[in-house]
Every structure is written in C-alpha cells, then in structure tokens.
Structure 1
Amino acid sequence: NNFYYPYSPGSARGHLREYCVILVAIYLICSILDAAYATIIHNAEERMASRTRRKVFHNLLRQEVEFFDGKKPEELVESIQNDVALLQKTLGDHMIHGLHCILTVLMCIFIMFMISWKITLVVLSLVPICMLVGKIQKFYARRLGKERAEAMATSMELVEETLSSLRIVRSLAAESRQLEKFKEMAADIYDLSLQTGLVDATSKSSATLMIQLAVVLSLYVSGLAVLSRQVEVGYLVTYAGVTILAISSIAQLSPLLRQITKALRASERVFHLLDRSPKFGG
C-alpha cells in the first residue's frame, strides 16, 4: 500500500486539509481574475464595435449618390449592425477562447508526457488513424450527397419542363416516355439515397468503434504500466482526467473555427465599406 500512498493515516489528514485549503485559494484567485478578464474583454469589444460603426457610417456619408442606387439600405444596415457584431464577438470571446483551448491542449499533452510518455505515445498514435478514417468517410459521404443533389435537380428539371410544355407533350403522346424517364431518375435517386444512408450509418458506427478500441488499447497499456509499477494508480487517474480535458478542448475548437470563418467573410464586407473611396463624376 505504501507504493500507492506513502504516508501514515495521521499525516494523511493533514495533507488532505492542506491540499483543500490550497485548492480553495486557487479557485478564489481564478474567480477574481476571470471576472476581471471578462470585464476588460467586454469593454474592449464594445469600444472596438462603436468605433468601427462610426467609421463605417462616416465613410458611407462620403460616398456618391450613385453608390446607393446599387445598394439596398437593408444590406448596409446589416453590415453596420450584424457584421460588426460578429467581428466584435470573434475578436473578443472566440479568439481568446480558441487560444485558451490550444494552450490547454498543449499543457495537457505536456502533463501526459510527464506522467507516462509510453501511454501518451500510444494515445497520440491513435489520433491520426481516427482522423484518417473520418476523412475518408466524409469524402465518400460528401461525394454521394453531391451526386444525389444533382440527380434530384435533374429530375425536377424534367418535371418542370414536362409540366410547362404539357400541351406539346400531349400532342406528341409523349406522357409515357416522360414518365419512364422520371422513373429511371427516381430509381437512381433511390440508389444514391441508400448508399448515402449506408455511408452515414457506417460512419457513425465505425467512428464509435474506433474510439472504443482506442479506449481499450489505452486501458490495456495503462494496466500494464500499473502492474509493472511504472505508474501509480493516483497518477493514472490524473492522466485520465487530463486526457478528458484535452479532448474537451479539442472538441471546442471545431465550432470556433466555423465562427472565425464567418467572421472573416463579415470582415471583408466591413472593410470594403471602410476602404471605399467616393467616385464623383469628372
């Protein structure tokens, strides 16, 4: 038992109280710093948004009248309101939160290597395999979805052409021929839908299976490390918690990247209005 906790029961209680007091102090400091951080970020966001809206509106007032003939007022108002708000949110919360997630992942990986570099190498070696399987499945699912959408559009074009020129179709007695064409297209759409459903179903099940196999392999390697007394059980529990924290941080990066992509498109529209020079006839 001394291998797992090398203290006597009496001193263990003292260590427990000491650690709890330290944790409470750390949590209080973190809470104060978090409140100060949120206040500073909010003020900076609002200041940036206010200045940007003033500059955009000022530059719009300088433009020639012909510029507004090709622009709807609603589009300009949307750029001043929504696009600037999206930039404000992205440059404030999203960028800093993304940086926080990246630093958390790097710190977690460092701690994992400090606890056991062997287990960490096994865990990290499984990540590219899981990503490769996911990429392959997404590629086929995207291709089948595109083919199905194109087939559906072609069939709807046939329906539209047939109904719009129904007099000509009936005069040529071509109803049966058009119906046969539509049946063939509908059969192709059905086959593509079945293939798409099969790929989606196997993608979800195979992704779950890959994660479960990775967990089993990690548990096996971790068990061997504990049995050979290379890692203590307490450190292994810490390792599992750090791994979960790293996975959670990585999962938060994907929606953040989507928000940043939207913000980049919004920034193009905002900077177009900011940088545009008036063109007066001469």
Structure 2
Amino acid sequence: IGSVIDQIVGNETKAAVPSDDILAILLLSLAGAVFSAVRRTSFNVASAHVVKSLRLTLFNAVLRQEVGWFDQVETGEIVNRLSSDVTQIANIASVNLSMALRYSAQFVFALVFLFTISWRLTLVMMVGTPVLIGVMWAYGRFVKRLSVLTQDALAAASNVSTETIANVRTVRAFAQESAQSAVYEERVTDSLKLQLRLATAGGWFGLTVGVIAGGYVCLVIWYGSKLVVQGDLTAGDLSAFIVYSVTMSTAVGMLGDVFNS
C-alpha cells in the first residue's frame, strides 16, 4: 500500500499507474477471503460436533447420578446446563478459539510490519498499550462475574418454568397460575437486570477504548507527519503505517472481546 501511494505521489509525468502492486493487493485480498471462509466453515463444523459430544456426555453423567442427587438439584437447572451452558462452552472451545488464533496472528504480523516501517513511530504508538490492557483486564473481570450471575439467574427462571409446566395439573388444581407467573416474572426480571448491567458496562467500555484509541491515533498521525516533514518517512509509509495501526487496534479489540467472553 505504501509503495502504491509513493509511486502515485512521485509519478510527476502521470504516465503509468502501479498496476502490478494493485494486482498483488487484489490477489492477497482474495487469498485472505478464501482462507477466512475455510477457517469459519471448519470451526463451525467443529463447534456443532463439540456441542453434540458435550451434551451427550453431560446427559449420560446426569443419568449415572444417585437418586438422592436429583432431590438436591433442581430440574430446571439441569436443563439449563444441558442447553445454554453447553452452547457457551462449545463457543469457547471452537468459535472463540478460532477468533483468538486469527486475531493473534493478525496482531503479530501487523506489529512486525509496523516496526519494519518505522520503529520510532511504533514505540510512540505502543505507549498507550498498558492503559488499554488495564482497561480490558478490569472490564473482563467485571464481565466474568456478571456472566456467572446471569447464568445462575437464567437457570433459576428455567427451573420455575420447567417445574410449573411439568406439574401443570397440580398448578391448575390449586389455582396457582398467577402465583407461578409472578415467580417466573421475578426470576426473568433478575436476569434482565444483570443483562442490562452487562450492556451498560459494554457501552462504557467501548466509549473508553474508543477515546483512548482515538487519542493515540492522533498522536501517531502528528508524530508521523513530523517524520515525513523531516524526510525520515515517506507519505506512502505513513499511510501504510496508519492502515496497519488500525489493523492491529482491531485485533486487540477483538482479542479483548474473546478473552472477556
């Protein structure tokens, strides 16, 4: 990209367009799209098999428990573990792993290219890395704690619905429809409150990261422009540096989401 821009800017006669470099960018983009499609398909297929295996293993483990164990554990909680929790674990073992590998590689390659273009500008850009890591770490701990509480609240709601439907004749006989509905609404409301806290925290996290990242992008552009004026960096190199900086920032953000989930 930087080579293309430098050739266009330095081409005073306007005689030719750097078609070879543009063709190379196109071919690399197509290759990246193909590999991305193969990766996505492979991990989605693996995820489906993991879900099946986990559910079957968990179900068989439940059936092997002593009868007294079923008196201590609520039916709705077991059902929730077989459905929601298994799906989340499968996502971590397949989809999240795929994303972690992809964005880790993207981060490493982008960082290598940045140091190749300008090590001084790269060091300036990385000044804010500890701050971003600290913000993501704090947010990750908060999300982890709330996620556990949310899953417990969903399990409680699932237990109420399962028990009520399984014993609907008894509920009808004692005219307890309204009472059970109120209990279920209370459990669902507890889950909603936790999910709203997660949503609010996610919004503040995005705002904080966006402000910090935007500030450091401006710092990079300012210092990069200074290097261009001094002749230590070309306009094409600065443009390429900004592109790779955005690529690396995207990778860091996605890795934060993956590890927080």
TM-score scaled by length of structure 2: 0.62
| SS of aligned partner of 2:51 | helix
Look up the match of 2:40.
38
Gaps of 5+ in 2: 1-5, 143-203
Q: Which has the larger radius of gyration?
A: 1
Where in structure 2 are the equivalents of 1:24-35 lying within 5 Å?
24-35=26-37
Gaps of 5+ in 1: 143-200, 260-282
1:117 offset after TM fit, Å?
A: 0.8
The 1:34/1:216 distance shift into structure 2, 3 A limit, reads closer
CA RMSD, Structure 1 to Structure 2 (Å)? 3.3
The 1:56/1:129 distance shift into structure 2, 3 A limit, reads closer
Contact persistence 1:113–1:120 (CA under 8 A):
yes
Partner letter of residue 129 of structure 2? V
The 1:109/1:26 distance shift into structure 2, 3 A limit, reads closer
Contact persistence 2:39–2:98 (CA under 8 A):
no
Where in structure 2 are the equivalents of 1:48-197 lying within 5 Å?
48-128=50-130
Question: How far apart are the structure 2 equivalents of 1:32 and 1:104?
Answer: 16
Structure having greater relative contact order (Cα 8 Å, sep ≥ 6) = 1
| SS of aligned partner of 1:230 | coil
Look up the match of 1:5.
10
Question: How far apart are the structure 2 equivalents of 1:219 and 1:36?
Answer: 36
1:253 aligns with 2:255: yes
Partner letter of residue 122 of structure 1? V
Contact persistence 1:4–1:232 (CA under 8 A):
no
| SS of aligned partner of 2:73 | coil
Contact persistence 1:123–1:214 (CA under 8 A):
yes
Question: How far apart are the structure 1 equivalents of 2:225 and 2:34?
Answer: 40
C-alpha distance after superposition, 1:215-252 (max 9, x if no partner): 44433321221112111101100101111111122122
Runs of 4+ with >4 A deviation: 1-4, 129-132, 210-213
Aligned length: 190
Question: How far apart are the structure 2 equivalents of 1:67 and 1:77?
Answer: 15
Identity of aligned residues (%): 17
| SS of aligned partner of 2:232 | coil
Contact persistence 1:225–1:231 (CA under 8 A):
yes
Question: How far apart are the structure 2 equivalents of 1:127 and 1:109?
Answer: 12
TM-score scaled by length of structure 1: 0.58
The 1:223/1:39 distance shift into structure 2, 3 A limit, reads closer
1:31 offset after TM fit, Å?
A: 2.8
Structure 1 residues 20-29 or 250-259, which shifts more?
A: 20-29
Contact persistence 2:43–2:98 (CA under 8 A):
no
Contact persistence 1:3–1:232 (CA under 8 A):
no
Look up the match of 1:145.
none
Question: How far apart are the structure 1 equivalents of 2:84 and 2:117?
Answer: 47
Question: How far apart are the structure 1 equivalents of 2:7 and 2:252?
Answer: 37
Contact persistence 2:55–2:86 (CA under 8 A):
yes
| SS of aligned partner of 2:240 | helix
Look up the match of 1:219.
221
